[in-house]
Amino acid sequence: MKEEFGSIADILERNAATWPDDVALVEINPQEYESRHTTWREYSLIEPSAAEAYRSEITWRRFNELSNRVANFLLSRGFRKGDKVAILLMNCLEWLPVYFGVLKAGCMAVPLNFRYTADEIKYCLELADADALVFGPEFTGRVEQIVDRVPRLRARLYIGDDCPTFAENFRNLVSYCSSRTPAIPLTLEDEAAIYFSSGTTGFPKAIVLQHRCLVHSCRVEQNHHGQTKEDCFLCIPPLYHTGAKMHWFGSFLVGGRAVLLKGVKPEWILRVVSEERCSIVWLLVPWAQDILDAIESGAVKLEEYDLSRWRLMHIGAQPVPPSLIKRWKSVFPNHDYDTNYGLSESTGPGAVHLGIENIDHVGAIGVAGYGWETKIVKSDGVTPVAPGEVGELALKGPGVLKEYYKNPKATAEILKEGGWLLTGDMAEEKDGFIYLVDRAKDVIITGGENIYPVQIEDFMRAHPAIKDVAVIGLPDERLGEIAAAIVSVKDGMALSEREVNDFCLDLPRYKRPRKIIFAPVPRNPTGKIEKPKLRKLYGGEGLIARQNGITEGA
């Protein structure tokens, strides 16, 4: 029987009451370790007293108590239901207790991207009408530049050592507050959080999610991947984004342990899986590629790790090249695999997923997720396309956003009659499975033909020397646009433009890139290619195909 919750905070209360002394969260900081030691093995044998700097943990009881102290502090300062508290922290043990403390106070959590510049922080604080800001030492300089220009902020709360003069020490403040649960009534329809769109297509929008969205996300993740109390989830991506947190929600729902790893080196990931006995790992495409490259080059030796508990590797946030999964399964044949599709407007991943039983359909993003409906529609945003036609993917379910904050025009553009959410992604359905074709805004029209860059990128990534690739449209007087491929070459390997063009001869002529540019492929923290940045860099006058010819280790 499905357990009912009145808010996402009820799950934390239940966990603390049911498993008070079980470990909820572990933080591991390998950079802290490596700054003082040669190997992890030396660390564990010689200086166990230094463990706190490298590894720390909290139980479910402590997690809940910290959240309650945060909530009671906010209430003591006059914060009320609906007030907004922005969170600007790197992944750390305090991140989730602060987040849940904000929710327990009836306030709305507003997670901020740690890569935002000072002006972008200001823009998002003002867009969300933030009343308070919780930030860490990594952001002191950026916050100092703008904090006096955001007069609405009633509190500037700092987590870390050496508190700046323009802020208050949050750790000290909350330590004096009650650890008892505040008596703030919450319902599933209450607004819980404001997330921001990734900004890969321009300025981010403020996405309002309700408690029902967050609770449904817990159920989606656990239904898809069967988390139990015994599973251990390794969380690497940033917690400000819906991807990482909502995948953790599956473990959260069953009281499972999670490990926050502050770093993405292949050896760090494998070491933590081995030492913490992790069973579920969510990766971005570049991290999975780096692990495989490290194994194949001999830089990482699998026999040095105990990976016997690792049962599931899943990927989302971006199109996944089938060639990558083929490589992965050849190295890890016993792993279950799932592709997860979603967007912040649908409370993160799982609105569509491949399903671990459908490995034979790798290349598809899958089928409608638990509690979700899908359809592919024409340009009017309503009429379904004919079978086999490309159209825009639309979603319907309990995880759909309430609105874009204070932006009814943008809300009306994506929310259609009946509660359908337009995703902006072009897709087609074949044999009951949905295949992502591309972002609507990324489609290239050359000589009247539509080119979908993702299809070309997936094809080109199969080349053994190509580490990453992005395809964009560049202006052309005769054809309107041509396809240009920005190619990143694997370390220590060489690749020429002619070799790339020869490899692409198996593509239809109109899909072959007309220009090859050897350069890094920029991705945002959630793994999405930053195509506006590439179009700005290469799409203007005086485009230079840098490093044209033979390039090593691009």
Residue ending a domain, among 263, 287, 315, is: 263
Rounded CA separation 115/100 (Å)? 23
The model's pTM is: 0.82
Q: Look at residue 544 and tell me if it is in a domain.
A: yes
The CATH number for 456's domain is 3.30.300.30
Rounded CA separation 359/538 (Å)? 37
Q: Look at residue 50 and tell me if it is in a domain.
A: yes
Q: How far is CA 435 from the centre of its chain?
A: 20
Residue 317 confidence (pLDDT): 64
Residue 198 confidence (pLDDT): 63
Q: Look at residue 494 and tell me if it is in a domain.
A: yes
Residue 46 confidence (pLDDT): 33
Q: Look at residue 491 and tell me if it is in a domain.
A: yes
Which tokens belong to 207? 């996405």
Residue 362 confidence (pLDDT): 87
- The number of distinct structural domains making up the chain is 2
Q: Look at residue 47 and tell me if it is in a domain.
A: yes
- Give me the domain span that covers residue 32: 8-263
The letter for the amino acid at 403 is E
Side-chain half-sphere CA neighbours of 350 within 13 A: 30
Q: Look at residue 120 and tell me if it is in a domain.
A: yes
The letter for the amino acid at 14 is R
The CATH number for 87's domain is 3.40.50.12780
Residue ending a domain, among 263, 279, 306, is: 263
Q: Look at residue 415 and tell me if it is in a domain.
A: no
Residues 478, 480, 482: CA angle, nearest 5 degrees = 95
Q: Look at residue 417 and tell me if it is in a domain.
A: no
Rounded CA separation 31/53 (Å)? 10
First to last CA, the chain: 54
H helix or E strand, kind and range, residue 312: strand 312-316
Residue 478 confidence (pLDDT): 60
Side-chain half-sphere CA neighbours of 424 within 13 A: 14
Rounded CA separation 295/316 (Å)? 22
User: If the chain, 554 residues long, is cut into consecutive pieces of 10 residues, what is the mean pLDDT of each piece?
Assistant: 88 98 94 57 38 81 97 97 97 95 98 88 95 96 94 95 94 94 96 81 82 97 96 94 89 97 92 95 87 92 95 80 87 93 91 92 92 93 88 95 95 93 90 81 70 84 91 77 90 91 86 91 76 77 33 31
CA–CA distances in Å: residue 369 to residues 161, 316, 407: 43, 13, 28
Residue 476 confidence (pLDDT): 75
Residue ending a domain, among 204, 235, 263, is: 263
Sequence-distant (6+) residues with CB within 8 A of 226 are none
Rounded CA separation 316/339 (Å)? 6
Place of tokens 């993003």: 365
